[in-house]
Chain A
């Protein structure tokens, strides 16, 4: 017969028991025994509770999300490692193993080389190797410049940097973002390059030697990369960067200038390479304006995208809400039908149809509901409660949410939201549709927006993704492929590139095997029935048979929805309007930009096309 075991009295053992119990690591028998003790031992119970509470509070530890470029920069880092691994020295020399005469010759050469090295070393001992020493000395002197080579390359000129520091450009960038994290800051909130840099400038030349020796592996690798970049520059450019560094160091506001330069470089690195080149080649006087214009364009695109997303989310939420209150809406429709059938035969018929469709057609049900709200002047019947409103707002972008929450009360918030959505929608409308939009009644507008917001807007292409796509466009496409795309708008080109660069799974027995880390050269599929020459003459709004997409860029058709002649929206075929769209920038074949893209540095990396769309943090 089992006699009950005496309770564990050793505090360490008791603590282990409790912790194992809380971690679910105690056996069933152990659990039973412990629970038995817990039932009558208050001190033991308190101890367990205190362990549990202090464990639970660890959930408060702040969590860090990866930068949206992290995955892409990691892949690039690995791609560089892969390309290094592909060319090991041994492969080049493997043939020699099978040729004895070559081995002998190589041995002879090595002997000579060894002899030369010994002589050199002896000479160096007596101070003969001054050139090596001077190279080392130069490297030590250049370390502060090398450490910030990308930043200095981006800035290029001290006057531009000073102008940038005086302007509110970078502040306006960070204020315009929804994300509280500044675009130039790491998750720690520090400027990126400054967070990990050694700051060689603050060390004496001799101390720099020691600092290099004590660098961590990843820091050494990063510094080596930057040294390679610096060494690849022309001497005159190297000298310019040294002078820029000196000018910054001599400036009384040098700390501020460094921070501004760092933030600017981070912003610039997110721009497409053609834009980077355009900025770099602009005069110092005009460069700031150029930068402002580029940022404004991007912000405008982001606003449009955010607004389209908000509309879609609102419509989606309203659809659910209307479905949940279907009975109330139907009853109201019936009442309206009875009242109006006497007024006009046509309108009565329309309401009848609407009422009948209301049961099965989500969109029309939603339209009926919001039109009723418009008629009442507030969202009631079915009632939009405060809680429901909060729920709706949760699905919207922070900027829209903030704006709506400036109003108090559900009624005012609803009106504020509708006003915002209307403004955003109108801004996305093509010029020719604005006038007819202005003439519409609130109910018609709402109906049109519900129709338009039903399908999700095209995914926003982040700045870094766009940069990468343009790089592919410029460096990897053939002239013919580029020619095929040149007459499309900028957005359409990007869409096509995204589409074409989607990874395609190799089929069974495909000799190409698995995809490589390097993006494959895109192969643009030729349409069978629609050669590209024909597309040049295509009218805006005419459907592209290859992808079922229209050439026009009006927002409804961007969704790829077919034009079903819905009377609720102004959906007539768009007129010929070739001049409306500015011709896409013709991109010349050009050598890779002077400033090489740093592939492996997490400070400057591009976003993979597969990563989530960038928030407006840029």
Chain B
């Protein structure tokens, strides 16, 4: 995408990370290290939730940084730095998923493989209701349910949700990362949140209200 000088300058002025990346482009090691330290946790978390494999998250985040470094000479500030970074991260996660799918690493348990082992909704609901007798929103249980809900989303929905929720990105930026239109993101996020609600709401509500009153 062609980037005009004025818009590049504008991003460089507004976004400190873009300035850092410009320094990286000029082979400034310190700037690169700053970026790594600044984004390492965010990327690892994103990779963890995108692939559902916490054991691979660090490796994949490292791959993202390596790509950033390799692409540094071609970098032109045509967007916020995060937009560019998460675009790369999305590509790396997609590639990793494809590679793992080729290797048939799909764990039928779903809990282990996360999104790779697409859990049927029935399983999810069963898993959630199985925990209900305690009727306590125990933290670990909640985490588990939320993870299951996230892993039930499709790849694009999950990416959009993670960027919106944890990166606080606006629809325009998410659209840039996912190379689509803001309107499509609006619709994508709406469907994603509806899917999340379908899984999470029974869990949230059942502890407070007896099933009879719900019916």
Residues of A within 8 A of B (CB): 12, 15-16, 18-20, 23, 25, 50-51, 53-55, 57-58, 60-67, 70-71, 73-75, 77-78, 81-82, 85, 186-188, 190, 195-196, 211, 214-218, 503, 514-517, 602, 608, 610-611
Contact = CB atoms under 8 A, between A and B. Distances in A.
Given A16-B186, A61-B150, A74-B62, A195 B139 contact: no
B204 A53 contact: yes
Contact of A81 (B29, B70, B103, B196): B70
B164 interface: yes
Kindly list the 8 A-B residue pairs having the minimum CB-CB distance in the complex, ordered from nearest.
A195-B55, A216-B99, A188-B54, A66-B40, A54-B200, A16-B190, A188-B55, A214-B103
A241 to B, nearest CB: 24
A58 B204 CA distance: 12
Nearest to A503: B30
A187 to B, nearest CB: 6
Given A15-B193, A54-B196, A196-B59, A64 B142 contact: no
Nearest to B185: A25
A63 B57 CA distance: 12
A25 B185 CA distance: 11
Contacts of B109: none
A182 to B, nearest CB: 14
Contacts of A55: 165, 193, 196
Contacts of A195: 55-56
B59 A78 contact: no
* Contact-residue bracket for chain B: 35 or more
Query: Which residue among A75, A85, A610 has the maximum number of chain B CB atoms within 10 Å of its CB?
Result: A75
Given A23-B189, A25-B171, A608-B33, 19 more contacts: A12-B190, A15-B193, A25-B186, A54-B200, A60-B143, A64-B48, A66-B40, A66-B41, A66-B61, A70-B36, A75-B33, A78-B66, A81-B69, A211-B103, A216-B96, A218-B60, A503-B30, A514-B27, A515-B29
Contact of B36 (A23, A53, A71): A71
A68 B197 CA distance: 36
Contact of A73 (B55, B57, B62, B95): B62
B53 to A, nearest CB: 8
A57 B62 contact: no
B76 interface: no
A343 B126 CA distance: 80
Interface of B: 23, 26-30, 32-33, 36-37, 40-41, 44-45, 48-49, 54-63, 65-66, 69-70, 95-96, 99-100, 102-103, 139, 142-143, 146-147, 150, 161, 164-165, 170-171, 186-187, 189-191, 193-194, 196-197, 200-201, 204
A516 B200 CA distance: 50
Contacts of B204: 53-54, 57
Nearest to A213: B102
Contacts of B29: 75, 514-517
Given A60-B142, A514-B28, A71 B37 contact: yes
Contacts of A18: 190
Nearest to B101: A214
B164 to A, nearest CB: 6
B95 A216 contact: yes
A67 B196 CA distance: 30
Contacts of B197: 50-51, 54
Nearest to A85: B70
B142 A514 contact: no
30 contacts: A12-B187, A12-B190, A15-B191, A15-B193, A15-B194, A20-B190, A23-B171, A53-B200, A55-B165, A58-B196, A60-B143, A63-B45, A64-B57, A65-B44, A66-B41, A67-B58, A70-B36, A70-B40, A70-B58, A71-B36, A71-B37, A73-B62, A74-B36, A78-B66, A81-B69, A188-B54, A196-B59, A214-B103, A515-B28, A602-B58
Contacts of A516: 27, 29
Nearest to B65: A74
B57 to A, nearest CB: 6
Contacts of B196: 54-55, 58
Given A23-B164, A65-B41, A514-B27, A218 B143 contact: no
B58 A78 contact: no
Contact of A61 (B28, B32, B66, B146): B146
Contact of B41 (A53, A64, A214, A514): A64
Contacts of A187: 44, 54, 57-58
Contacts of B142: 57, 60
Contacts of A61: 49, 143, 146-147, 150
Contacts of A65: 41, 44
A602 B44 CA distance: 13
Contacts of A58: 146, 150, 161, 165, 196
Given A25-B171, A187-B58, A216-B99, A82 B69 contact: yes
A498 to B, nearest CB: 16
B36 to A, nearest CB: 5
A214 B96 CA distance: 11
A12 B96 CA distance: 33
Nearest to B70: A81
Contacts of B191: 15
Contact of A19 (B60, B99, B146, B189): B189
A23 B69 CA distance: 33
Contact of B99 (A217, A503, A514): A217
A211 B99 CA distance: 11
A53 B201 contact: yes
A610 B62 CA distance: 18
Nearest to A195: B55
Given A74-B40, A611-B37, A66 B102 contact: no
B189 A196 contact: no
Contacts of B99: 214-217
Nearest to B172: A25
Contacts of B201: 50, 53-54
A60 B165 contact: no
B77 to A, nearest CB: 19
A411 to B, nearest CB: 33
B2 to A, nearest CB: 26
Contacts of B63: 217-218
A75 B33 CA distance: 7
Contacts of A50: 197, 201
B146 A57 contact: yes
Contacts of A70: 36, 40, 44, 58, 61-62
A23 B102 CA distance: 37
Contacts of B102: 214
Given A63-B41, A71-B37, A611-B37, A19 B28 contact: no
Given A12-B190, A16-B186, A81-B66, A75 B59 contact: no
B45 to A, nearest CB: 5
Contact of B187 (A16, A51, A73, A217): A16
Nearest to A514: B28
Contacts of B62: 70, 73-74, 77, 218, 602
Contacts of B56: 195-196
A504 to B, nearest CB: 11
Contacts of A85: 70
A216 B100 contact: yes
A195 B56 CA distance: 8
B36 A196 contact: no
Query: Which residue among B69, B189, B193 has the maximum number of chain A CB atoms within 10 Å of its CB?
Result: B193
